[in-house]
Amino acid sequence: MKMPSEQEMQAAVAKRDRSRDGDFCYGVITTGVCCKPSCPSRFAKPENLRFFRNIEAALVAGFRLCKRCQSADGSSRVAGLVKIARHIEDNADDRLTLTALADIAGLSPSRLQRAFREAFGVSPKAYQDAARMRRFKQSLKDRKGVTEAIFASGFGSISRVYGEAARNLGMPPKAYGAGGAGEVITYACRITALGLLAMAATHKGVCFAKFGNDEASLISDLKAEFPNATLRPSPSCDTSELDAWIKALDQHVSKGAPRPELPLDMRGTAFQMKVWHFLTSTREGDILSYSKLAAYIDKPTAVRAVASACARNRIGVLIPCHRVLRGDGGLGGYRWGVERKQALLHLEREHTAEAEPEKA
């Protein structure tokens, strides 16, 4: 089912249109929650909204269920499931079995599994994984080491967190090596403050975002990245979310809006994924060297490999590799041109400086 246009979704949220529940959901970047169109919570600024096809996509992007709009559903069944969701969030780092959750809900395990998925679009296990991933990213933002962050978020092992990342946020390396065979990737090209941008997405999220000088070369680069995938241009009437995502990214780089929290389909080796996940946890205004980045991911001797991972990043700005500089403070390289890297850093310094009075 197609998503409504951005204008229709904005209007539905403004009217709290209950008839639109199920057509889409939206995330509020200032609170980190995802809501139904009819949510009774206080209205958020339009620039702080991110629209998603379903709750699962919002959870993958790092949002959590809104307690208010889920509780507003008069159904006692839904209220019971919201209780389970809250229990999972509060105990995300514990080992929660389906049987134990079913006992809390007063349902059989199979019935809970079906009812939870019907209500929220994901299984209780996937919901717990999403909650753990949010804790993992927050731990990285708090400058914990990657290993410490992994165990603090309840994953239990290094392999599990990257296994979850591959399952929830992207494809396994083997599938990536197949060049996107059997997949449909939709793309759009739009003018932004940093020039022409091509953005492409699978059903899981953005897999490609690149700046360039002309559409033909950008599409050629997309084909080179995914030679065996079916590529389809995206008229906004068919996939309005791509236009909304590009607009949100442009507002970030041109008007100081927060970096949009969009679902990402990251594809690469385990090491590359480790680097990219850490970069998504950095804050606007953060600057670090390749050596510091290597140390943060517990690979202090892998400086060259870190630089290579940054160079292989195919999702510009959303994975902010422009924040990584050489050890001497020099800009170093940038896949989309040093001028754009310099412009991004300048814009982020301005945004950070403007935000300083609000922190006082």
pLDDT at 159: 45
Question: Domain range holding 333?
Answer: 270-359
Q: Which amino acid is at 261?
A: E
Q: Which of 25, 35, 39, 207 is catalytic?
A: 35
- Residue 297 domain flag: yes
Looking at the structure, tell me whether residues 10 and 117 fall in a common domain.
yes
Residue 28 DSSP one-character state: E
Looking at the structure, tell me whether residues 20 and 112 fall in a common domain.
yes
Looking at the structure, tell me whether residues 229 and 195 fall in a common domain.
yes
Looking at the structure, tell me whether residues 112 and 200 fall in a common domain.
no
- In angstroms, the CA 106 to CA 84 distance is 11
pLDDT at 146: 55
Q: Is the pLDDT of residue 329 over 90?
A: no
Looking at the structure, tell me whether residues 82 and 120 fall in a common domain.
yes
pLDDT tier, 291 (very low <50, low <70, confident <90, very high otherwise): very high
- Residue 148 domain flag: no
Q: Which of these, 213, 210, 211, 236, lies nearest to 225 by C-alpha position?
A: 210
- Show Cβ contacts of residue 258 under 8 Å, excluding neighbours closer than 6 positions: 29, 30, 48, 252, 284
Looking at the structure, tell me whether residues 12 and 120 fall in a common domain.
yes
Q: Are strands 230-233 and 184-192 parallel, antiparallel or unpaired?
A: parallel
- Residue 234 domain flag: yes
pLDDT at 296: 86
Looking at the structure, tell me whether residues 251 and 312 fall in a common domain.
no
Looking at the structure, tell me whether residues 249 and 278 fall in a common domain.
no
Looking at the structure, tell me whether residues 245 and 339 fall in a common domain.
no
- Residue 146 domain flag: no
Q: Which of 25, 34, 66, 321 is catalytic?
A: 321
- Residue 16 domain flag: yes
- In angstroms, the CA 274 to CA 76 distance is 42
Our count of domains for the chain comes to 3
What mean pLDDT is predicted for residues 92-120? 85
Greater confidence (153 vs 93) lies with: 93
- Residue 194 domain flag: yes
Looking at the structure, tell me whether residues 11 and 89 fall in a common domain.
yes
What mean pLDDT is predicted for residues 259-274? 81
CATH number at residue 280: 1.10.10.10
321 is catalytic: yes
CATH number at residue 99: 3.40.10.10
Tokens 């083997």 sit on residue: 174
Greater confidence (165 vs 327) lies with: 327
What mean pLDDT is predicted for residues 277-287? 83
pLDDT tier, 167 (very low <50, low <70, confident <90, very high otherwise): very low
235: β partners:
none
Residue 175 DSSP one-character state: H
Backbone angles phi, psi at 212, to 5 degrees: -165, -175
Max mean pLDDT range (48-57, 237-246, 313-322, 327-336): 313-322
Tokens 């070369």 sit on residue: 217
Q: Is the pLDDT of residue 82 over 70?
A: yes
Tokens 């700046």 sit on residue: 211
Q: Which of these, 336, 213, 192, 314, lies nearest to 257 by C-alpha position?
A: 192
Looking at the structure, tell me whether residues 64 and 107 fall in a common domain.
yes
pLDDT in tens, 168-196: 434 444 555 566 677 888 898 988 888 89
CATH number at residue 187: 3.30.160.70
Looking at 74-78, 92-96, 252-256, 298-302, which range is the least confident one?
74-78
- Residue 145 domain flag: no
35 is catalytic: yes
pLDDT at 358: 45
pLDDT in tens, 235-262: 654 555 677 788 888 887 777 677 777 8
pLDDT at 1: 52
- Residue 107 domain flag: yes
Looking at the structure, tell me whether residues 251 and 302 fall in a common domain.
no
Q: Is the pLDDT of residue 165 over 50?
A: no
What mean pLDDT is predicted for residues 134-155? 59
HSE of 76, CA atoms in CB hemisphere, 13 A: 2
Pair of tokens at residue 317: 């700005």
- In angstroms, the CA 278 to CA 238 distance is 33
